[in-house]
A and B are shown apart, each in its own frame.
Chain A
Amino acid sequence: ETGVTQTPRHLVMGMTNKKSLKCEQHLGHNAMYWYKQSAKKPLELMFVYNFKEQTENNSVPSRFSPECPNSSHLFLHLHTLQPEDSALYLCASSQGSRGYEQYFGPGTRLTVT
């Protein structure tokens, strides 16, 4: 595997389910990000991790819970989501001093029913 991978690519879940999104980067980077991409809205930065430590949480509801066990893996745990949470969730990584040059995964298309 190369670059940034995300699994699953598609996920349909009910509002009472619990699921997790997984991201893995094979680039040796030390920063990882979660973004939410909704139709007709700008990309929304959700969380930032640098060297496994969370450095940014953009007022994301607690039903989204990130986990970064090491610099290569990032998870987004989901529980009791709302239909408006349906979106494309993108993971990205970067090398610390060049945080603007982010490498994105293909995303997970999430549908909440």
Chain B
Amino acid sequence: AQSVTQLDSQVPVFEEAPVELRCNYSSSVSVYLFWYVQYPNQGLQLLLKYLSGSTLVKGINGFEAEFNKSQTSFHLRKPSVHISDTAEYFCAVSANGGSQGNLIFGKGTKLSVKP
């Protein structure tokens, strides 16, 4: 069975500083990996996805993530954050190759950007 671990429940950072949100997964088969973002009082929004090909994936709002198969990680990064990036970020892995929509989510990381 697949599982996702987000090691940090909260990450405070100053505006314009770089940030990395960590995600590790476990799976015995090939997986698809995703990051979703949830702004206050909103639903989740897909930030980026890794399906195959290049291990460096770029998403919306300047975020990127790197798939590392040997370390079973999919960390999310942004070189310079803005106040508007304050949100909760969820890493997810697909079961059954993704087409069935069976996403397994981590517990989330709350990113708090301070001026």
Listed in ascending order, the chain A residues whose CB lies under 8 Å from chain B are: 4, 6, 31, 33, 40-43, 45, 48, 55-56, 90-92, 94, 96-107
Listed in ascending order, the chain B residues whose CB lies under 8 Å from chain A are: 4, 9, 32, 34, 36, 41-46, 49, 90, 92, 94, 98-108
In the complex, the answer to whether B32 meets A100 with C-beta atoms within 8 Å is: yes
In the complex, the answer to whether B101 meets A43 with C-beta atoms within 8 Å is: no
In the complex, the answer to whether A56 meets B4 with C-beta atoms within 8 Å is: no
A98 to B100, CA, bound (A): 8
Expressed in whole angstroms, the minimum distance between the Cβ of A50 and any Cβ of chain B is 8
Closest to A55 in B: B100
In the complex, the answer to whether A43 meets B90 with C-beta atoms within 8 Å is: yes
In the complex, the answer to whether A33 meets B44 with C-beta atoms within 8 Å is: no
Given contacts A42-B106, A43-B90, A100-B94, contact A4 B43 (CB under 8 A): yes
Inside 8 A of B92's CB, which chain A residues have their CB? 100
Inside 8 A of B105's CB, which chain A residues have their CB? 42-43
Given contacts A42-B4, A43-B90, A100-B49, contact A90 B44 (CB under 8 A): yes
A43 to B102, CA, bound (A): 12
In the complex, the answer to whether A45 meets B99 with C-beta atoms within 8 Å is: no
